[in-house]
Amino acid sequence: MNYRHIYHAGNFADVLKHAVLTRLIRYMQKKDGGFRVLDTHAGIGLYDLSSEEAQKTGEWVDGIGKLMEADLGPQVSELLEPYLSAIRELNPEGGIRFYPGSPKLARMLFRPQDRLSAMELHPEDYVRLHRLFEGDHHARITELDGWLALGAHLPPKEKRGIVLVDPPFEEEDEYQRLAEGLEKAYRRFPGGTYCLWYPLKKGAPIKEFHETLQALDIPKMLCAELAVRSDRGITGLTGSGLVIVNPPFTLKDELHQLLPALKDHLAQDRFASHRAFWLRGENKAVKDD
């Protein structure tokens, strides 16, 4: 309840999460039928990077700020085009003042048949999120603990969906809670595509987290990680990871294009790295760099 994403909006972790979310949405849209995005920890939806809070940390400068100015090459540019176009649409006068959170980004990419369910527990953030989508019949905004949504709001009536779980990691047991939440949700909606975000930092139980996920009875789980700096002498966030359950068959190859480019442009020291690999399912991993 103390976490406020405005201090971190548009940082390198957001870039990875939103780049992958965009690819998941575009893959879903290859079929005519509608689908639902369920965002369990939605935040306020739209962030003003000129605000006092965002300016205090300036994290976006080393995230989306670098990416928008980067020479990405044709293949990566094509993969990131929907994501970066949404940001340009929010900033018609140029520059980057406004940055979309996950619910806003998803909504901007929707077709008429696609829908959003966004959960936010923080009372002030819920009010702002609800106001942002007021009158939008494609969006359902609920003041609710996002962990509860993994049971109460699945499966969606569309029977197709992306479930984004991006908790604040304020508690020490969040990695375990993330695994338990996935197990519960998957039992209710085994055909869904799940995108689970987690932080990389010194001492984080990443190996144990991965082993817990591997022990679940879930056939396909793809993992993508991006670290922008060494964790030596640093107590804060050094990178982030995503676990994608039931990933599109195209995603592994797309990560092979995206991750090296994101590492090259967002690196904060020479120890920046990336990796993509199967936790469950396919055996062939994307080469680390």
Enumerate the known binding-site residues: 18, 41, 102, 120, 145-146, 166
CA–CA gap between residue 194 and residue 248 (Å, rounded)? 11
- Residues 32, 125, 166, 217: which is the catalytic one? 166
Per-residue three-class SS string for 150-177: HHHCCCCCCCCEEEEECCCCCCCCHHHH
How far are the Cα atoms of 76, 80, 208, 225, 227 from residue 73, in angstroms, in the given order?
Answer: 6, 11, 37, 21, 22
Q: Which residues of 146-176 are buried (b: 16+ CB within 10 A; e: fewer)?
A: bbebbeebbbbeeebbbbbbbbbbeeeebbe
List, as residue ranges, the binding site for S-adenosyl-L-methionine.
18, 41, 102, 120, 145-146, 166
Told to judge if 114 belongs to the known catalytic residues of this protein, a careful annotator would answer no
Q: Tell me the backbone φ, ψ of residue 41, rounded to 5 degrees.
A: -135, 80
Closest CA to 220 of 285, 278, 162, 287: 278
Place of tokens 């979310």: 21
Sign of CA dihedral 149, 17, 247, 280: negative
131, 5 contact by CB (below 8 A): no
Any idea which residues carry the catalytic annotation?
A: 166
